[in-house]
Amino acid sequence: MKIYLFASSSCSIPKGLFVKGQPWKRVKFPILSAVIEYNGDLILLDTGIGTRMNQEFKNPKYKTNAWFHQSVMKAVFDPGRNPLIYQMQARGLDPAAVKYGILSHLHYDHAGGMRDFPNAKYFINKKEWEAATAADSHKHSYVREQYEANPKLDIELISTVPGKSYLGFPASLDLFGDGRFILVDLPGHSDGLTGVFVNLPSGRRFLFPGDSVYFPENLAGPAPKSWLMQKLVHEKPLAFETLKKLHNLKKSEPDLEIVSYHDHSIPGRYELAPVYYE
């Protein structure tokens, strides 16, 4: 197994918006996806921003999402170069070999590339799907055209199994039955946000926590997002309870490598493809 990290966009944000109590000076951060070589296939953890983003944002009902993406996050994005599918091709990874996609949640900057991999099977939390297909989902950072595509994408709705505890989480799902990909519920940022533990044969253990953590400073505090950011993304109070659980997990499992999709220390703390981790 090998883990590659890709950034489909570079953004900047006042740190204090993402981390309560931090200075309001802008820092750069990526929009990450992970590509994992597993049993001869490729698995995506989130898909980042896809080839259709600029076109999707022309729809007036997504004007708030477009404003936040362009004016607040100041995203730098070239649709002919930055989408995950093109970066994979440039790094010698065949997009046709993508067998599965595991979505942490369906906000536009995580699900944007799903239609770029139409032959993949996608695993999505059932609660997340219900939130993402609600009538008012466009007000909550969802762009339905990304996952309600025509022709339809192959989507399997999943739920964790109560009683199958894992590292303090009361429910989990061993996705392939071999202990390599363990899914847990991390609600708050979105209703069905899913964390993915990836356990490598080498013994290295990773957790990809979606947007339950933005920056390392969130996890270290634990420090929630600012009240303004919580309001902008409609985060629920449960998000801080999830963050505290992750903070305690890191203290009890110091060798667990937690990698958020918007970590401003990447590249640096981890490098982007073609570097890989195994």
- How many structural domains does the chain have? 1
- Find the CATH number of the domain harbouring 117: 3.60.15.10
User: Which residue, among 256, 274, 265, has the nearest Cα to 182 in the 3D structure?
Assistant: 256
pLDDT of residue 149: 78
pLDDT of residue 203: 97
Residues 83, 247: Cα–Cα separation, whole Å: 32
Running along the chain, 278 residues long, what does each successive block of 10 average in pLDDT?
97 96 96 97 97 93 91 92 96 96 97 96 98 92 91 96 97 98 97 97 98 97 95 93 98 97 96 97
pLDDT of residue 150: 79
Residues 188, 168: Cα–Cα separation, whole Å: 18
The pTM for the full model equals 0.95
Q: Output b/e per residue, 150-182; b: 16+ Cβ within 10 A.
A: eeebebeebebeeeeebeebeebbbbeeeebbb
The values of phi and psi at residue 135, to 5°, are -60, -35
Quote the domain boundaries for residue 210.
2-277
User: Which residue, among 92, 145, 110, 96, has the nearest Cα to 8 in the 3D structure?
Assistant: 110
